[in-house]
Amino acid sequence: MIKIVLGLVRDLYFNLCIITIMTIRKTIDAENIEMLDSIIETCDNLIEIDRLIQRREDQPLKFNIELVQDNITNMKVDAIVNAAHEGLSGGGGVDGAIHRVAGAQLAGECINQLYGCPVGYARITNGYNLTANYVIHTVAPVWRGGKFNEFNELRQCYSSCLNLASMQGLKSIAFPCLGTGAFCMPKKESAVEALDVVRSYFENVIESYGKSLDNHPIWMQCETSLESVKFVCFNPEDYQCYLDLLPNGVLEIR
C-alpha cells in the first residue's frame, strides 16, 4: 500500500512540474522554448523510467522450463519446433508428423517461400492445422563422431529458435529432441546441451535486465518475449534423459 501511495505522489509531482513548465512556456520568447521543450521531454522520460522501475520491483522476471512426454503436434503453445532437413520439404519422424497434421499448406510455404535452411539456423512458418500458431524449422547436425563441431551446431539450433521466437514476440515454444533420431546425435549429451542453452538464455536475460542506464527508458525492458519453454519427448528413452536433468519435470528461473 505504501508503494502505491509513493508511486502516485511521484506521478503527481512530475505531472505538476510539466504543467508548470507548459504554463511558463506560453509567456517566454522563442529562443527559450527549445530549452523548455527539452526539459519537458526529460520529465516524460523520468516518469516512464520510474514506472518501469516500479514494475520491475513488483513483477520480477520469471521463466519456466517444462518437460512433457507427448506428441509435439498436440502442444498448445505459440510455436513448436520442427526437426527439419535442409530442404524443408518434409520427411520422417517429427518432421513428417508435423507436416501431416499441419497439412499441405505447410509444405507449400516451406518450398515456395523459405528455400531451405542451413544447419544451426531457423526459419518460421504458419502452423496451419496445428494447435500451435507457428512452426519454427531448424536443421540439426548429423552425428559424425563429435569431431566436426556437432554439439556447437546443435546448441546453435536451440539458440536460433529462441531468438527467432522472441523476434516474433512469441511467449511460448516447444522443442522436440533435435538431432537424436535419424541424425543419430547422442541422446544424453544432446539433452544436456539443449537444457543448458535454454537455461543460459533465460539467466542471461535476467542478468542483463535493467543493468545498463545508457539508453533509458529502453534499458528497463526485457530482452525476450519468451516466458515458457517445453521440451517434448515422444519416446520413454528420450524422456528419461531429460528427467535425469529435471527430476521434477519443471524448472523455474528467476
Residues forming the active site: 95
Q: Give the residue among 46, 13, 40 at the shortest CA–CA distance from 24.
A: 40
**C-alpha triplet 199, 204, 208: angle, nearest 5°:** 155
Rounded Cα distance, 28 and 22, in Å: 10
Output the CA–CA distances (angstroms, integers) from residue 174 to 34, 62, 209, in the order listed. 51, 17, 24
Strand spans (E) along 99-217: 122-126, 134-138, 172-175
Output the CA–CA distances (angstroms, integers) from residue 24 to 31, 32, 44, 97, 131, in the order listed. 13, 10, 17, 68, 58
User: What do you get for the CA distance between the two ends of the chain, in Å?
Assistant: 24
Rounded Cα distance, 28 and 118, in Å: 62
User: For 152, how many CA atoms within 13 A lie in the half-sphere containing its CB?
Assistant: 3
**Grid cell for residue 241:** 534423459
| 49 within 8 A of 216, measured Cβ to Cβ | yes
